[in-house]
A and B are shown apart, each in its own frame.
Chain A
């Protein structure tokens, strides 16, 4: 009996969510009186997971896993889970983890609950809280299988350093053939993704046209933020679909979400509601976003945003 957690890395470096899922797994393990084993694939410094509560790390080093493949990764995690006799498996909500999770669930005959936001309230019956109706509600869900698979919502638990240390074991799973081959990856390496960003700066139709997006990009640059947009903005072709956030776009769970020229339609808010702090800048004081935001400025984006960008630059320079 133990808790196993899959820790994602990119080009050898652990992603922030890796530390978050380990912190979360540690909280579950404490509740169950057991320990945490992490599985890491081609990652540097696997022992660093000890600081977040892993007692043991199964380190997989296999060049055929340099490019993510859901079936291969699911198989590796399945084998690790069986070897460790683990009965709780924790994954993040990254695109890759959500891709492999259902395959892993079938392989382990595990009940799977995604978008979980808290440590299980109860371990018998095993009960977790997750978001439902695209963040308009929460559900309390029991998992009745012997092995339980949990997908943790990104940024819902945070990082908890426990100062522990982890032993590292080499783990060599059998990697199955996969009928899906990655031909090419198209990823901006200099930009933080919406999923990983601490801050997201988002623009709506109030910005009038794609030619005005420097406003959003300049502010995002100062804050090291990802850029996002409302649905009509992507439908109009002002911005790529990959920036569309909301109920039918990407979910956002950042620490800070800044909405500029976005009215705050129910479908938009549903997708961004898990962000911790929301700021709205809009000319219309009646815009529904003001009801959902923590801070608001009633004002013209074309006047407010450049000043905000300058002020933040000065702030950053001072606090650097």
Chain B
């Protein structure tokens, strides 16, 4: 089984979000970039398929050279090879088009992406990629088993979960649950050394129309101060929620 894990290079969750150039660009100054958390769960599940079922695992990112340390980290965690499509990730659709080419050229059976990236939260790349390559698709995936070309997956739905059966080729939108938090791997020294020798191939992008374009950003309006209610006077909270906030 050939597995491709899509790796989004995103600001660490503690990052302060600021913008430059007249609020048109994300300010990367002082920001640390990491593997998108949803992708990291997927990568870890892929390592399980590699170790237990003999799968090969490649990782891919669509982005500039600045994303290579994130790909090297994925190699250090245990992926066999990395691919970087050398173009800016403008929107979900352009990323999906680039990935579709990589998937078709590489003949991957299983693609594991994250349910969404934590920077733009589009939640569209895996589904678009599946539709473009004609693969089956399960998102919000919290469990995945592969047996030959058959797959069993669990999808989180609003208020519960559903178990589905499907088959390869398959694209997954993964998240926590695919593996547990405690299963995530921190690269060790040996992994980091080996990652330096693993192939990182740079491929040039295919032409893709830009369908959506962010022209500006803004931060939420600053919030007013909290209204404190005395712990001995809870009637006051009920009163405020009813008469002032009007939420009960």
Binding site for B on A (CB under 8 A): 68, 70-71, 94-96, 98-103, 105-107, 110-115, 127, 131-145, 178-188, 191-196, 198-199, 223, 235, 241-242, 244, 247-249, 255-256, 266-267, 270, 273, 276-277, 279-280, 290-300, 303-304, 307-308, 311-312, 315, 319
> Which residues of A sit under 8 angstroms from B123, Cβ to Cβ?
98, 101-102, 114
With most chain B CB atoms within 10 A of its CB, the pick from A98, A179, A195, A312 is A179
Contact across chains for B142 and A241 when beta carbons are under 8 A apart: yes
Contact across chains for B137 and A71 when beta carbons are under 8 A apart: yes
Quick check: is B218 within 8 A (CB to CB) of the other chain? yes
Cβ-neighbour of A193 out of B91, B158, B209 (below 8 A): B158
The CA-CA distance from A137 to B220 in the complex, in Å, is 6
> Which residues of B sit under 8 angstroms from A223, Cβ to Cβ?
248
Contact across chains for B211 and A312 when beta carbons are under 8 A apart: no
| Residues of chain B in range 171-228 having any CB-CB distance to chain A below 8 Å | 175-177, 180-182, 209-220, 223-224, 226-228
> Which residues of A sit under 8 angstroms from B157, Cβ to Cβ?
68, 95-96, 185, 187
> Which residues of B sit under 8 angstroms from A256, Cβ to Cβ?
241, 245, 247-248
Cβ-neighbour of A273 out of B161, B214, B220 (below 8 A): B220
> Which residues of A sit under 8 angstroms from B78, Cβ to Cβ?
none
Contact across chains for A307 and B234 when beta carbons are under 8 A apart: yes
Contact across chains for A102 and B160 when beta carbons are under 8 A apart: no
Contact across chains for B247 and A276 when beta carbons are under 8 A apart: yes
With most chain B CB atoms within 10 A of its CB, the pick from A94, A100, A192, A295 is A295
With most chain B CB atoms within 10 A of its CB, the pick from A102, A133, A135 is A102
The CA-CA distance from A303 to B232 in the complex, in Å, is 10
Quick check: is B104 within 8 A (CB to CB) of the other chain? no
For the residues of B in contact with A, the DSSP-based class is mixed
Cβ-neighbour of B124 out of A105, A182, A185, A312 (below 8 A): A105
B126 — nearest CB in chain A belongs to which residue?
A102
Known: A131-B121, A134-B118, A248-B13. A294 touches B161 (CB 8 A): no
| Residues of chain B in range 131-156 having any CB-CB distance to chain A below 8 Å | 131-132, 136-140, 142, 152, 155-156
The 5 closest A-B pairs by CB, nearest first: A102-B127, A193-B159, A187-B160, A299-B231, A111-B211
Contact across chains for A144 and B118 when beta carbons are under 8 A apart: no
Cβ-neighbour of B13 out of A107, A266, A308, A319 (below 8 A): A266
> Which residues of B sit under 8 angstroms from A255, Cβ to Cβ?
247
For the residues of A in contact with B, the DSSP-based class is mixed
Mind listing 16 A-B residue pairs with CB under 8 Å? A99-B155, A102-B92, A102-B126, A105-B124, A105-B131, A107-B131, A112-B124, A186-B161, A188-B160, A235-B182, A255-B247, A280-B226, A294-B226, A295-B229, A308-B234, A315-B242
Known: A184-B162, A276-B247. A134 touches B238 (CB 8 A): no
> Which residues of A sit under 8 angstroms from B156, Cβ to Cβ?
95, 242
Looking at the assembled complex, report how far the CB atom of A113 sits from the nearest CB atom of chain B, in whole angstroms.
Answer: 6
> Which residues of A sit under 8 angstroms from B152, Cβ to Cβ?
183
Contact across chains for B158 and A241 when beta carbons are under 8 A apart: no
Known: A102-B131, A244-B176, A298-B231. A312 touches B238 (CB 8 A): yes
The CA-CA distance from A9 to B4 in the complex, in Å, is 36
Known: A111-B211, A115-B121, A295-B240. A105 touches B93 (CB 8 A): yes
Quick check: is B38 within 8 A (CB to CB) of the other chain? yes
Contact across chains for B176 and A112 when beta carbons are under 8 A apart: no
Known: A107-B131, A139-B214. A179 touches B136 (CB 8 A): yes
Cβ-neighbour of A266 out of B14, B122, B124, B176 (below 8 A): B14
Looking at the assembled complex, report how far the CB atom of A128 sits from the nearest CB atom of chain B, in whole angstroms.
Answer: 9
Question: Count the A-B residue pairs with Cβ separation under 8 angstroms: how many?
Answer: 264
Number of chain B residues whose Cβ lies closer than 8 Å to a Cβ of chain A? 82
Known: A133-B17, A142-B213, A247-B13. A315 touches B248 (CB 8 A): yes
The CA-CA distance from A95 to B155 in the complex, in Å, is 10
> Which residues of A sit under 8 angstroms from B11, Cβ to Cβ?
133
Looking at the assembled complex, report how far the CB atom of B246 sits from the nearest CB atom of chain A, in whole angstroms.
Answer: 9
Contact across chains for A133 and B92 when beta carbons are under 8 A apart: no
The CA-CA distance from A126 to B22 in the complex, in Å, is 21
Contact across chains for A106 and B128 when beta carbons are under 8 A apart: yes
Known: A133-B11, A187-B159, A298-B228. A180 touches B136 (CB 8 A): yes
B14 — nearest CB in chain A belongs to which residue?
A266
Cβ-neighbour of B163 out of A143, A184, A249 (below 8 A): A184
Contact across chains for A103 and B176 when beta carbons are under 8 A apart: no
Contact across chains for B161 and A133 when beta carbons are under 8 A apart: no
Looking at the assembled complex, report how far the CB atom of A126 sits from the nearest CB atom of chain B, in whole angstroms.
Answer: 9
The CA-CA distance from A101 to B241 in the complex, in Å, is 36
> Which residues of B sit under 8 angstroms from A105, Cβ to Cβ?
93, 124, 127-128, 131
The CA-CA distance from A105 to B126 in the complex, in Å, is 12
Contact across chains for A143 and B212 when beta carbons are under 8 A apart: yes
Looking at the assembled complex, report how far the CB atom of A96 sits from the nearest CB atom of chain B, in whole angstroms.
Answer: 7
Known: A137-B218, A235-B181, A294-B227. A99 touches B162 (CB 8 A): no
